[in-house]
Amino acid sequence: MALDITKSLNREELELCRNAFIQFDLDHSGTIDCTELRATLQSMGHECTEEEVYLMMAKVDDNGSGTLDFSEFLTLYAQAKKNEMDRGQETDTIQAFMALGGNADKTGEVAISKLEQVLDIFELNVRAKDIVEQYDTDKSGFIDFQEFKDWIGKSKA
Q: What is the set of domains in the chain, with CATH numbers?
A: 10-85 (1.10.238.10), 100-156 (1.10.238.10)
- In single-letter form, the type of residue at position 155 comes to S
Q: Round to whole Å and give the CA distance between 152 and 21.
A: 38
Average pLDDT, the chain: 86
pLDDT of residue 155: 67
Handedness of CA 56, 75, 36, 83 (dihedral sign): negative
Q: Alpha carbon of 26 to those of 15, 21, 41, 82, 130: distances in Å?
A: 18, 9, 14, 28, 60
pTM (two decimals): 0.58
How far, in Å, are 68, 82, 151 from residue 86 at the CA level?
Answer: 24, 6, 17
pLDDT in tens, 119-153: 998 888 889 999 999 999 999 988 999 999 999 88
